[in-house]
Structure 1
């Protein structure tokens, strides 16, 4: 065992509690985005990512429970340096901006549920890249989950404003793909990526700020509830949730902790309806349950393919 590695003994209920904290924080993200809807997506992404970098600082202070060597203690191949310091911030940027922009162009509940198909995408990607094959349960689960996403596209979407809705759906799917690839990199990297999260968030935030400037947005910071919602989005879903999820995965049973992520779309849909942001449409619970069911089916007989983060 490396001298940089320690073993943490933590009761199971604390690991589950940490996972549930992450799930709840991810589920309230659509509510925070709706409050800050007047803020341009790139600017809101900048605020959220910079706040998330601050909230994720505890990740740089903890020692890992797995026998992975700290990135600062080894010489990484150039390929992995480019992936970790270049591709990962780009994926974080794409995931956050795609999610925020998608919710601005499509109904919040629908865009959020499409984004939350990322666990099933991660499972498919992980199976293919690790084993060069996709087992039947994964194929079936993926089909069920995407049927859930398809349910959200009602006949009414074909009318006025359809192009805006479809653009929002595409952006939400882009966010899901970015989170899935990011999670696979965290799983496959020869070093622990979590301790670098504040730096990676800062790089992604700088990219969002640059994009906001190039987009020609009027300079200035939002005020009032919009600014508070943007900061809360970074501290909660993109900051504390990452810390809590990392703690849960390191100290609890991976299969149990990973399965809790599938509750996010259901809880998010319920919160949006309760808050009055989404109408109590029959499609929402059906779509949410299909996404969860598809993820559960796809994770059967899975080993390394549990979600690594969000």
Structure 2
């Protein structure tokens, strides 16, 4: 019975991770429909929608028995990392081509693997370092031509996408390491992130605020309900019940799916560099997760 239970949990974790992967892949396409809203207000809106989407999961999960460090990590660290990840992601997609920014952001699984190995074993395996080098070479395929042509806007976008990758890697490691389940706490974490993001957007508002149009509002809500609502909970469940190496490897398909969605929708041009960079990123992440 114990083996059957483990088998069921592993399949559940894979299914939950696949739900998160498909929803995350839709984020760049939905963001292209919300271009009338600045990145920070868009991030605040999506995080608020994510908090509302996860509200049914709320239940009292005592955290008072945790050390002060863990409580700070849950109630300060996770909201700040979520704010950094989502805001940087949207800014990166505005300053650089959306498919390129999504690809660079999703180098985060290899960063997650390197971080997990370092903090768990005190060292990083050579296979993981080699995988990271291959994945980052994929990102360089996109970034180097932009640097050579002096397009500072795209370079800044790539920088924000890389920052989003770092935030997601740290967020995933904290999700896996916390001694309590995060799903019941997710509405409050996302709501806190939304408030932080809205506060960060105020200095740029310059005293004016206009409501987004109908299509922009729907796109922002859809991003919050799916990629940053249901997907966040599904990913937490996947990390909680599955193996980090297996679950992390499923996320490698996100940039490929995201780029495919954009190209099929006619919102991105299939540049020759994109499939090469995608193959290098996915291949590098698979190499990094090899046993």
Same fold per superposition (TM over 0.5): yes
Aligned CA distance change for structure 1 residues 256 and 142 (closer, same or farther; 3 Å): closer
**Structure-2 residue corresponding to 1:173:** 162
- Distance (whole Å) between structure 1 residues aligned to residue 179 and residue 283 of structure 2: 32
2:79 is aligned with 1:89: yes
**Structure-2 residue corresponding to 1:298:** 288
Q: Give the counterpart of 2:175 among 176, 186, 189.
A: 186
**Structure-2 residue corresponding to 1:54:** 52
Q: Secondary structure at the match of 1:152?
A: helix
Q: Secondary structure at the match of 2:62?
A: helix
**Within 5 A, what are the aligned runs for 1:14-25?**
16-25=14-23
How many residue pairs are counted as aligned between the two chains? 286
C-alpha contact (below 8 Å) 1:58/1:243 kept by paired residues: no
Runs (4 or more) in structure 1 with deviation over 6 Å come to none
Deviations 1:217-247 (A, max 9, x none): 5213201111110000000100111233334
Aligned CA distance change for structure 1 residues 221 and 57 (closer, same or farther; 3 Å): same
2:126 is aligned with 1:128: no
Return 141-150 or 253-262, whichever deviates more: 253-262
Q: Can you give the 5+ residue segments of structure 1 that lack an aligned partner in the other structure? A: 1-6, 62-69, 302-310
Deviations 1:163-191 (A, max 9, x none): 11111111011011001011111122222
**Structure-2 residue corresponding to 1:75:** 65
2:275 is aligned with 1:285: yes
Aligned CA distance change for structure 1 residues 148 and 108 (closer, same or farther; 3 Å): same
- Distance (whole Å) between structure 2 residues aligned to residue 272 and residue 105 of structure 1: 16
Deviations 1:247-306 (A, max 9, x none): 4455566654443211111111111111122211111111111111111111112xxxxx
2:102 is aligned with 1:104: no
CA shift for structure 1 position 8: 9.1
**Structure-1 residue corresponding to 2:131:** 141
**Within 5 A, what are the aligned runs for 1:141-160?**
141-153=131-143, 155=145, 158-159=148-149
CA shift for structure 1 position 125: 1.1
- Distance (whole Å) between structure 2 residues aligned to residue 163 and residue 214 of structure 1: 24
- Distance (whole Å) between structure 1 residues aligned to residue 163 and residue 35 of structure 2: 19
**Within 5 A, what are the aligned runs for 1:237-252?**
237-250=227-240
Q: Secondary structure at the match of 2:123?
A: coil
C-alpha contact (below 8 Å) 1:49/1:205 kept by paired residues: yes
TM-score by length of 1: 0.85
Aligned CA distance change for structure 1 residues 16 and 181 (closer, same or farther; 3 Å): closer
CA shift for structure 1 position 56: 1.8
**Within 5 A, what are the aligned runs for 1:259-270?**
259-270=249-260
C-alpha contact (below 8 Å) 1:9/1:251 kept by paired residues: no
Return 206-215 or 134-143, whichever deviates more: 206-215
Q: Give the counterpart of 1:31 among 13, 29, 32.
A: 29
Return 170-179 or 78-87, whichever deviates more: 78-87
CA RMSD of aligned residues (A): 2.2
Q: Can you give the 5+ residue segments of structure 2 that lack an aligned partner in the other structure? A: none
- Distance (whole Å) between structure 1 residues aligned to residue 123 and residue 10 of structure 2: 33
**Structure-2 residue corresponding to 1:235:** 225
Aligned CA distance change for structure 1 residues 300 and 174 (closer, same or farther; 3 Å): same
